Amino acid sequence: MRLHDLKPAPGSKHRRKRIGRGPGSGRGGHTSTRGQKGQGSRSGSSTRPGFEGGQLPLARRLPKRGFNNKRFATVYIPVNIDSLNQFEDGVRVDEAELRKVGLVNGRGDGVKILARGKLKKKLTVCAAAFSAGAKAAIEEKGGSCEEAAKGGAAASDE
């Protein structure tokens, strides 16, 4: 087999539908697949996403009640203690350091240290929140936990 022998699988390639090219195109001829009359047949006609032909749209049919706190919720970026083992012994680890090594990406209201895995080094960890197990594991190794203000390094960048 050579490069010139390669072909796509049968049926995997389709020609583009060329509309408005006359009756020989197999695409409706004078109506160009738009049908006879009606809203979609006119030139310049288009409908917005979610339009249901004049029927009350789903977004308006469904009930909307109550208060949703999602906009005001505190969103922490989780970091497990087993991933803190890549830092040197006795180092102070904060959100800026975690971002530098790629453990924290994106936006949030700070970093929360979680207790998955085993911590093998003595570290001073500065984060917005700690789980009880993570705090115990860090202090068990002789390290310390500092509660940082919400937002941490991300808030100072803006």
- Backbone dihedral region for residue 35 (phi beyond 0: left; psi -120 to 50: alpha; all else: beta): left
Nearest Cα residue to 150 out of 56, 51, 69, 72 = 72
**Residues 109 and 74: beta-carbon distance below 8 Å:** yes
Q: Predicted confidence band at 157 (pLDDT cuts at 50, 70, 90)?
A: very low
**Residue 9: predicted pLDDT:** 95
The whole-number average pLDDT for the span 88-112 is 93
**Residues 127 and 115: beta-carbon distance below 8 Å:** no
Could you tell me the two tokens for 100? 């530098």
Identity of the residue numbered 122: K
Sign (positive or negative) of CA dihedral 80, 83, 85, 91 = negative
* 152 pLDDT higher than 70: no
pLDDT tens figures, 6-58: 999 999 999 888 888 888 888 878 888 888 898 888 888 888 999 998 899 99
**Residue 95: predicted pLDDT:** 93
- The fold for domain 72-157 equals Ribosomal Protein L15; Chain: K; domain 2 (3.100.10)
DSSP strand pairing (124-127 vs 144-147): parallel
* 158 pLDDT higher than 70: no
Question: How do the domains of the chain map onto residue ranges?
Answer: 72-157
pLDDT tens figures, 66-76: 888 888 999 99
pTM: 0.56
Q: Predicted confidence band at 60 (pLDDT cuts at 50, 70, 90)?
A: very high
